[in-house]
Amino acid sequence: MAEKHYSLDKFRNLGIIAHIDAGKTTTTEAILYRTGLKHKIGAVHDGETVTDWMEQERERGITITSAAVTAFWKDHKINIIDTPGHIDFTAEVERSLRVLDGAVVVFDGKMGVEAQSETVWRQANKYNVPRVCFINKINQIGGDFYKSLESIHRRLSKNALPIHLPIGFEKDINGVVDLIDMKAYTYKDFTDHELTQGEIPADMADKAKHARSMLVEEAVQADDELFERFLDKGEESISAEELKSALRKRVIAGDFYLVTGGDGRGVIVEKVLDLVTEYLPSPTDIGSIWGKNPKTGDEVERKPDDQEPVAALAFKIATDPFVGKLIFIRVYSGKVSAGSYILNATTGNKERVGRLVRMFADKREDITEISAGDIAAVVGLKDTTTGTTLCDVAKSILLESIEFPDPPVSIAIEPKTKSDQEKMGIALQKLTEEDPTFRVHTDEETGQTIVSGMGELHLEIFVDRMRREFNVEANTGEPQVAFRETIKSVAEAQGKHIKQSGGRGQYGDVWVRFAPNEPGKGFEFIDEIKGGVVPQEYRKPVEQGIRETLDSGVIAGYPVVDVKATLYDGSYHDVDSSELAFKLAGSLATREGVKKATPVLLEPVMKVEVTTPEEFMGDVIGDLNSRRGRIDAMEDLSGGAKLVRAFVPLANMFGYTSDLRSMSQGRAASTMELHAYEEVPPNVAEDIITKRNTK
């Protein structure tokens, strides 16, 4: 069946992002229902939702993997990605935002801005994604539109203004006042099929007038002519259409946000859809993308147009039990057709596009092509991973890839039986392809397979998926922290490898200066050799020897990070020198140099937020202090609850959720995310190094 063709200005590529439990998946369900794709709204707790299709998602009532669906509203085509809210799956949000043009940020109206709301907001800022805000659940006890708006102003941005004001309070909420046309849109029951237009309630007239004036003041800043007219003739001189157009410019600029609110299960979601189509950008508003020519390094432009050469980015890999590996791609320019050849610009290899499918969460519909501005999935690509650029075979372009944080938590994993062994290797390979923050390596000392992830839940889900999807039974060890090593001072060291044992010997001699690099900069190799004291062909092996030694650690066997190594002197032998000899010399210099450069141990420190009733506040703070935590801030929340923000080493946070539950009679909740790697106190570091070295 041929798809209806939509012009590019009618496309919206949209993400639904939020803190866990704010109601993203339910809002997405309501959108699917309102746009006619579902005949009823599925409940998350009943496991009936479309976008939470994995068994684990339905059991736990949380979103784990971002799901893509396509909906149609008022002659617009909307590609929606419902993203996870749990911090352990933050990579799913990161890669979705990289390819989306706009986002709806959902807030829990009872809680306002929460920890993960801040994280997804920062991620959206990073990719400059324009967004609108939806304050959900304001119809529930404790739900408050204005308090939530205040928390957006306090914690995220002052530039967020309501475009709709809710009518009623808590359970009596029954619609909104639209500040553009100054009309009320109400419903008797949230499940109504349409909103009834009427006059603004008398007791809201002044509030609505004031809110509209603030909106107009912000809007006119987008247009000099409007601004002049506003100053000369006032608010009345600006028509509703001009106001909409100016607000759209402000939203697309990425530093101004429109806010609405209501019950995410109901008819009010139609107002959210209107905001999406009227104010969020189409691919034409986003304009050209720029990349590099892989051969020359020159900047290359691609316009959002079907006639341009193909440029697309693979942003997600999923293993489908029926069709194999699915590659989700965003096409920026040109057209990708089923059966055609495409260049993998990251590897330089040509690949054949097998099938193209339009995704509806875990269901698929075959299509013949994907045009510029669209999102769909490809079957049949072999070497493509997350962040790979796919482009025209004759006109190549390399787009900026997607960077992911290093996972801070590890566990040892081993197959239960011999038959599980081979299956486990295949399962781990597929799972690492899917999720760039899930890593696998073998501990050289113990021979154990170690898997690393963003948190305990992340790893738990992967072990569960191995059992269900790949029939692999596995035993796991206790969670371990991914420590790092670094240096604090500058030191120079000689690495000299000489071996004479009859016949041709081995000779490599280097002097290397080790210095701390900026945090997060990683390893940097600098070649300062003057003349030919170390010939050119031996310098790369020296770098390789240094890099491998840093990776395997010097003081406790953890990777050494953020180090500058400068090769500045050395000597060679005409006959006995070889690449291997210089690689070993680089390794010897590293072991010596790092030990002399004040090596220290680094540990992941988590930003922890705890929401607790006031009576447990003392216990919560005392407990965080006992875990080597630093209390950063305390805030009052609605309903007598308190928010505690602290920085705590990850090593002391395993099992925290159940400890918190028991200390607060199950009434406190917490979230945590990686804040930074910090130096481990000397007494603690000594214990860690001793334990590690006596393994």
DSSP letter for each residue of 206-272: HHHHHHHHHHHHHHGGG-HHHHHHHHHH-GGGS-HHHHHHHHHHHHHHTS-EEEEEE-TTSTTHHHH
What is the percent of the chain where pLDDT is above 90? 27
Average pLDDT over residues 506-533: 90
Rounded CA-CA distance 342/312 in Å is 10
Q: Is the model's pLDDT at 230 over the cut of 80?
A: yes
Give the DSSP H/E element, type plus range, for residue 497: strand 491-499
Q: Bridge partners of 636?
A: 642
CA–CA dist 186, 256 (Å, integer): 27
Residue 391 to residues 57, 302, 394, 526: CA-CA distances in angstroms? 34, 11, 9, 34
Mean of pLDDT values over 36-51? 43
Two structure tokens written together for 574: 């005409």
What is the C-alpha to C-alpha distance for residues 428 and 466, in angstroms, rounded to an integer? 8
- CA distance linking residue 276 with residue 437, whole number of Å: 31
Q: Comparing 90 with 506, which gets the higher pLDDT? A: 506
- As beta bridge partners, residue 317 has 327
d(CA 219, CA 691): 62
Containing H/E element for 106?
A: strand 102-108
Q: Is the pLDDT of residue 206 over 70?
A: yes
More confident residue, 592 or 657: 592
pLDDT tens profile 401-434: 777 777 878 888 888 888 888 888 888 888 887 7
| pLDDT computed for residue 451 by the predictor | 86
What are the two backbone dihedrals, phi and then psi, of residue 558, each rounded to the nearest 5 degrees? -100, 150
Between CA 314 and CA 345 the distance in angstroms is 11
The per-residue pLDDT for 387 is: 81
Residues 6+ positions from 169 with CB-CB distance below 8 Å? none
Q: C-alpha angle with apex 99: 97 to 103, nearest 5 degrees? A: 45
pLDDT band at 2 (very low <50, low <70, confident <90, very high): very low
What does the block give as tokens for 258?
């429109």
d(C-alpha 112, C-alpha 109), whole Å: 5
Q: Express each pLDDT in 57-100 by its tens digit.
A: 344 343 334 457 788 888 888 888 766 545 555 666 776 777 88
Q: What is the pLDDT of residues 240-249, one digit of tens each?
A: 888 899 999 9
**Segment 651-678, tens digit of pLDDT:** 888 888 788 888 888 778 787 778 888 9
Q: Is the pLDDT of residue 321 over 70?
A: no
Instruction: Tell me the per-residue pLDDT of 88-146, one tens digit each, with 9 for 90 and over.
Output: 556 667 767 778 889 999 998 888 888 778 878 888 888 889 999 999 988 888 888 99
Q: Residue 167: is its pLDDT beyond 80?
A: yes
Q: Give the dihedral sign, CA 105/110/112/113.
A: negative
Mean pLDDT over the full length of the chain:
83
Mean pLDDT in residue range 43-49: 40
- Is residue 445 predicted with pLDDT exceeding 80? no
CA distance 472 to 465: 9
CB half-sphere exposure, 669, CA atoms < 13 A: 9
User: What does the pLDDT read at residue 582?
Assistant: 94
Q: Residue 492: pLDDT above 90?
A: yes
- Domains of the chain with bracketed CATH: 10-284 (3.40.50.300), 289-391 (2.40.30.10), 410-481 (3.30.70.870), 485-597 (3.30.230.10), 603-693 (3.30.70.240)
pLDDT interval class at 444 (50, 70, 90): low
More confident of the two residues 88 and 695: 695
Token representation of residue 212:
């509209």
Polymer length in residues for the chain: 695
Phi first, then psi, for residue 75 (nearest 5°) are 65, 25
* Model pLDDT, residue 428: 86
CA 512 to chain centre: 38
Is the distance from CB of 342 to CB of 390 less than 8 angstroms? yes
pLDDT on residue 495: 93
Q: What is the pLDDT of residue 55?
A: 46
Helix crossing, 224-233 with 205-219: angle to 10°? Answer: 140
394 pLDDT more than 60: yes
Rounded to two decimals, what is the model's pTM?
A: 0.71
- 161 CB contacts (<8 Å, ≥6 apart)? 211, 214, 215, 218, 256, 257, 258, 259
Average pLDDT over residues 316-329: 75
Residue 177 to residue 193: CA distance in whole angstroms = 18
> Residue 253 pLDDT > 60, yes or no?
yes
500-522 core/surface letters (b: 16 or more CB in 10 A; e: else): eeeeeebbbbbbbbbbbbeeeee
Look at residue 236 and tell me whether its pLDDT is greater than 60: yes
pLDDT band at residue 565 under the 50/70/90 scheme: very high
Task: List Cβ neighbours of 611 (8 Å cut-off, separation of 6 or more).
Answer: 111, 114, 637, 641, 642, 643, 668, 669, 670
Indicate the burial class of 231 (C-beta count within 10 angstroms; 0-12, 13-18, 19 or more). exposed
The per-residue pLDDT for 89 is 59
pLDDT of residue 45: 39
What does the pLDDT read at residue 62? 38
Beta carbons within 10 angstroms of residue 486's beta carbon? 23
Determine the distance from the C-alpha atom of residue 297 to the mean position of all C-alpha atoms in its chain, rounded to a whole number. Answer: 28
The contacts of residue 555 (CB under 8 Å, 6+ apart) are 485, 594, 595, 599, 601, 689
- Written as one letter, the residue type at 383 is D
pLDDT reading at 298 higher than 60? yes
Distance from C-alpha of 527 to C-alpha of 533, rounded to nearest angstrom: 12
Q: 3-state DSSP call for residue 685?
A: helix
DSSP 560: B
Does residue 609 or residue 90 have the better pLDDT?
Answer: 609
Q: What is the pLDDT of residues 170-189, one digit of tens each?
A: 888 888 999 998 999 988 88
Q: Which range has the worst mean pLDDT, 315-329, 556-570, 621-635, 670-684?
A: 315-329
Return the percent helix, strand and coil in the chain, to nearest 5: 35, 30, 35
Cα separation, 529 vs 527, in Å, equals 6
- Tell me the pLDDT band of 329, cut-offs 50, 70 and 90: confident
